[in-house]
Amino acid sequence: MITKESIEQLKARLDIIEILGNYIQLKRAGSNYSACCPFHDEKTPSFMVSPIKGIYHCYGCGASGDTIAFVMEYEKLSFAESVEKIASLVGFSLTYTQERQKQDSKFLDEIAQFYHSKLLQSEEALKYVKSRGISRESIERFNLGLCGAGFESVKFADMHNARSEAIELGVLGQDRDRVYSRFFERLMFPIYSPSGKVVGFGGRAMGENSAKYINSPQSKVFNKSKLLYAYHLAKESIYAQKQIIIAEGYIDVIMMHQAGFKNVVATLGTALTKEHLPLLSKGEPEVIVSYDGDKAGINAAFKAAKLLAGREGGVVIFEGGADPADMVVAGKIEEIKSLLSSPIPFVEFVLEQIVGAYDLKNPLQKEKALKESLEFLHSLSSLLQEEYRAFLSRLLKIPLSLVRTRREKQVSSIARVDHASLTELVLIKSILEHHEFLDFAIEFLEIQSFQRHFEEFALILQEEWNHPALLGIRINEAIVALDFDDFKKQVRDFAIKDYQQKLKKIPFEKNLEYRQKIELITKYKNFIQKIQKGEI
């Protein structure tokens, strides 16, 4: 069991933006950050994160909490598992109530080194690697390896008493009673987490009798939709150059690095997905999608460009069947530099691909091209829609008036606070920021004093400080907490208005006798006078 002190120490050093940035794409919004909520479908961001308070709140679905709560909900983990996951992300060593401290598994790192040594011992495998233009230095830098005969991996796992772990992590497979190596007779590309820990492998067949590439299966440490090959090696250059280049394959990445392009990464045999976006957003670099010019490469670039529309960067297509690795081997470094220096902006690339798929000589086809183009255009901000109207008009050779933008309401629900609610919310937020203010407030106010936010005030009286409704108020920048002097004045003014409203209602109370009504009127008027004179 993790000690309470260890958890508190971990919480004290957490940066909620750093952790949540591993899962969702955050954009600065004043002193807070915003995103589309990962817990429900939405197009307009209503999910807000406060780096100062260390909390998040979604004004759409009500999800809220701290860093640990987010990871628990997103990863579907228990509290302890979430704490351990976060600790591994930030490199924090937890302490446990047991004498022995839990140790992270080193099996994947160890077997990666085993495969690496096997490659260095195989003349045939080294000959193949050399034929692809990969240098000895790159073999070391990327820790390339060789998985030879299947029994070797099984034997290695058994020697380390890790057979079940090797199966769980996808190094070994199991078919009924038979245990086998998933990667036998393959060149091995260790895949690292952004922090530099081996989490899986890509394996390339050196023969022609099996699938060219296979990757580790999904496991507790490996999710190919969130990882980028060689990011751990490229991130320093990415941050320095403010640019990240995405290539198609492992060998493309290795050869580009070998040629001096140190900011190149690749997806792991899959298309770029929304889950990659948080990693691509770190350091806010421009993104260059650099794919082959074949049909598969162009389709992949089209999907990536739709995801990245609105970002700095663009698409580079290597024409004529060439790929970056081929061009490096051919010594065409300057040509690569030239291509990368003038990418096609993402929005332009998407529109060109959409329009290019239709026969514009056919009016019905042209109409379909316009419809599909507008569907994409309407997914962008109002500014970008306006900017690309003329571009689409020229592509389709139609009047500009036919390219209509769709103006969406930009006012978020976060800022929609009507005037009548604002006074109540300011008082509530002031108490949330300064709990000691509550003692003063309850001298003047009760739950019924609040017309719109009585439930929130009731939560405060119950000291439910971390309730989602209260966290939503705390994080809302449209509501400003008061200092104590202003708070006291606001409470008194609020109380006077409250009792004035109560006075107006007394004559219409049917369940009160005349004598009782007179007593209440006198009581409320006296209370108002005392507040106004400063006697209470």
Highest mean pLDDT among 6-10, 32-36, 251-255: 251-255
387 pLDDT band (50/70/90 cuts)?
A: very high
Determine contact, residues 385/428, Cβ cutoff 8 Å.
Answer: no
534 pLDDT band (50/70/90 cuts)?
A: confident
Highest mean pLDDT among 1-10, 116-125, 209-218: 116-125
The per-residue pLDDT for range 268-286, each reduced to its tens digit, is 977 898 889 888 888 789 9
Structure tokens at 452: 């719109």
Determine contact, residues 485/435, Cβ cutoff 8 Å.
Answer: no
Q: Beta-strand (E) ranges in 297-336?
A: 313-318
The per-residue pLDDT for range 117-165, each reduced to its tens digit, is 999 999 999 999 999 999 999 999 999 999 998 899 999 999 999 999 9
Question: In the predicted model, what is the mean pLDDT of residues 178-182?
Answer: 92
pLDDT at 100 over 80: no
The per-residue pLDDT for range 480-505, each reduced to its tens digit, is 889 998 999 999 989 888 888 888 87
Q: What is the 8-class DSSP label of residue 104?
A: -
Dist CA 499 CA 512 (whole Å): 17
Q: Is 264 exposed, middle or buried (0-12, 13-18, 19+ CB in 10 A)?
A: buried
Q: What is the 8-class DSSP label of residue 265?
A: E
Structure tokens at 51: 């780096």
List the domains of the chain with CATH numbers: 4-90 (3.90.580.10), 107-215 (3.90.980.10), 231-342 (3.40.1360.10), 351-402 (no CATH), 419-533 (1.10.860.10)
pLDDT at 279: 86
pLDDT at 536 over 90: no
The per-residue pLDDT for range 390-434, each reduced to its tens digit, is 999 999 999 998 998 775 433 344 444 556 688 899 999 999 999
Dist CA 492 CA 160 (whole Å): 72
Q: What is the 8-class DSSP label of residue 328?
A: H
For residue 317, count other CB atoms closer than 10 A to its CB.
17
pLDDT at 374 over 50: yes
pLDDT at 294: 85
pLDDT at 91: 79
